[in-house]
Amino acid sequence: MHISVEKITEVVLSLPSDARALLADRLVESLDPIHDDVIREAWSVEAKSRLQEITSGQVNTIPGDVALQQVRHSLKK
């Protein structure tokens, strides 16, 4: 069965944003799987570093809705 790229695009764009984000992530991963391990390791190191900063009190967190509100406000400027 052959489905055109245009038809796939039409269907995908009708999906909820979280489903589109998941699909986009999977498509990007499929482009260059050779570097997946390197990227995962780099993100693992970054996540551990950020967690350490939070648990040590070096940085403060804010709720996600507040962060999004601040981003939206800064984009309106």
Q: Are residues 27 and 39 in the same domain?
A: no
Instruction: Tell me what pLDDT residue 2 has.
Output: 86
Averaged confidence pLDDT in the chain: 91
Provide the number of structural domains found in the chain: 2
Report field, pTM of the whole predicted structure over 0.75? no
Cα(9)–Cα(5) distance, rounded to whole angstroms? 6
Instruction: For 26-45, write each residue's pLDDT tens digit.
Output: 998 888 766 778 888 999 99
Cα(68)–Cα(24) distance, rounded to whole angstroms? 21
Structural domain for 25, as ranges? 1-31
Q: Are residues 25 and 38 in the same domain?
A: no
Q: Are residues 26 and 48 in the same domain?
A: no
Q: Are residues 23 and 38 in the same domain?
A: no
- State what percent of residues in the chain have pLDDT above 90: 74
Q: Are residues 40 and 27 in the same domain?
A: no
Q: 17 or 28: whose pLDDT is higher?
A: 17
